[in-house]
Chain A
Amino acid sequence: MNKDAQLRHSINQKLIENGERDRLKELLRTKLIECGWKDQMKAHCKEIIRQKGLDHVTIEELVTEITPRGRALVPDSVKKELLQRIRTFLGKNSII
């Protein structure tokens, strides 16, 4: 593992150990519902299923197809808030 990957790994471990990862997950979920992201994605999925027909779409194809749009549609403010939370967390819990 290179240094970067190692750091990511230990940050992830700390977040899990602390329960912070679950809190972040819930925060993100709430934020994405609030800003309409979830509804947008739902509509997008419905559109794809309508186009291809219910019997011709697998969940894997659906995920592959919606992922780029899903990433792009996350508002900057949400990303910033999460980043800030992680920073604060790391400030309080020394990793290395």
Chain B
Amino acid sequence: MSSAGCVHLSSLKQEAHWKQSVRLIHQWFVCCGSLEARKRKARSCVCHLCGAHFNRLHSCLSCVFFGCFGRRHIHEHAKTKRHPLAIDLYHGTIYCFQCQDYVYDRDCELIAREEQRKAWRLQGAAGWYTNWEPTRRELELLRQNPKRRKIAPNSTIGLRGLVNLGNTCFMNCIVQALTHTPLLRDFFLSDRHRCAMESPDSCLVCEMSRLFQEFYSGFRSPHIPYRLLHLVWTHARHLAGYEQQDAHEFLIAGETRDDNGKKGTHPNHCNCIIDQIFTGGLQSDVTCQVCNGVSTTIDPFWDISLDLPGSSSSFWPLSPNSEGGGITNGEKHAPTGTVPLTSPTSLTDCLRRFTRPEHLGSSAKIKCSGCHSYQESTKQLTMKKLPIVACFHLKRFEHSAKLRRKITTYVSFPLDLDMTPFMASSKESRMNGQYQQGDSLNSENKYSLFAVVNHQGTLESGHYTSFIRQHKDQWFKCDDAIITHASVRDVLDSEGYILLCPLSCARFVFECRG
């Protein structure tokens, strides 16, 4: 396209209602947010000359006409009717048949972007993930500041130690994990946080934003997170005493807040980035043992807390007929005379335990809406909606009336995890007899490990460190101010307390979370 732009579009823009007609085409035929629009699109988007629904359909901008580009039916229309402009129905771009080129027009692009955003919002998607494009002001700033920092593919920018301010390792290890979450990094470095707090000084997300600037500034000396500590100190006081604190509680304080703003330092309904990436939906099915009636509830969750073998509350091992992973399997294959090869408990075992039906017992009868009386029932949890970043919390600390202790059982965890078996939808298709195991092609429910928080020592005196991943397979150990290289083995052999895993296809999920 020549820099002069398209005179044909310019003359169209002289017409009174041109904006409205461009907008309508976008709303109804390019990016349809409502079911009504999608139905109409499905019905009517065919080439008016050959009936094809593919071949790059375009819509005339001057009259109601759809034609395919592939067989030049839209060209034909443009020529005979002298309607030179058409919108590509797949991408929303405008083509000029006179200039024989796509036209890049600021006003039209703005309309397209607005409508796209609206459609996402209507479909329940977050709608804020679009490719970054500089605004005029940002372009001006870029011109004034010509210095650029180029990042090599193997760069370790972003690695920075954090000074321990007196037992603040619980905070440091989580900050390290969060600042290396790729999605959060992209979000904050593109300056996306629009603060909704009355006083941004007390906004934890604003502070996160500043932390990202610190981490990616290129400085290598350890950062002193006194501002963050101060914020936590003033707004989530129960976390910030100079005693041993729990990293998990700290993470949760950042993540959770309900409609009453009960926990955390966030405003109500702020729908902030942390919420958006950590929130999932947990389905709970309670089945009456008498009438088999099921009552289902779905609750949001911010992490998946898993019981470990050896804890007093859980009932390990899994039933012997459950496939794979169990101790019984290992013994069967062990050669005689040697110590039985018991495979360690895996994260998958814990998840299977988490999602299996649990008999609630005779002391916990629940009122059944089918029987209209109190009956014994079973309860089963499954994942209704997966979070964009899954946070697995291994319950290593047991606080009961009787005892406080740490469970040190080794739990193996994988670099890649498929959550499909633990989905509510898998349970349904299993019940309908359609479930196939090992649907390895589908990457939709796959997570990849990128941060592991560890607790060393005892309940009374312990220390937190974290492993974080950069690039595809570079691991680093963050021990307060000190950062060292680590091997994959170091990571996988570590005890594990909190594991953070983003969805493998997270970018995609961002754009069409439905």
Contact = CB atoms under 8 A, between A and B. Distances in A.
B42 A81 contact: no
B167 to A, nearest CB: 42
B441 A80 contact: yes
A95 to B, nearest CB: 12
Max chain B CB contacts within 10 Å: which of A14, A16, A81?
A: A16
Contact of B41 (A16, A30, A81, A88): A16
Interface stretch (B60-68, B273-281, B505-513): B505-513
Nearest to A28: B508
A12 B42 contact: yes
A8 B439 CA distance: 25
A64 to B, nearest CB: 10
A84 to B, nearest CB: 4
A50 to B, nearest CB: 18
Indicate the size class of the contact surface on chain A: 20 to 34
A69 B275 CA distance: 42
A23 B53 contact: no
Indicate the size class of the contact surface on chain B: 20 to 34
Given A1-B51, A30-B508, A84 B41 contact: no
| B contact face: mostly helix, strand, loop, or mixed | loop
Nearest to B119: A22
A58 interface: yes
B123 interface: yes
A12 B54 CA distance: 9
Interface string B35-73: 100110111010000010110000000000000000000
| A contact face: mostly helix, strand, loop, or mixed | helix
A27 B434 contact: no
A92 B53 CA distance: 23
Interface string B438-465: 0101111000000000000000000000
Nearest to B425: A92
A23 B439 CA distance: 19
A68 interface: no
B102 A59 contact: yes
Interface string B484-514: 0000000000000000000001011001101
Contacts of B90: 25
Nearest to A91: B434
B100 interface: yes
A26 B514 contact: no
Interface pairs A-B: 4 shortest CB-CB: A16-B42, A13-B42, A84-B441, A17-B42
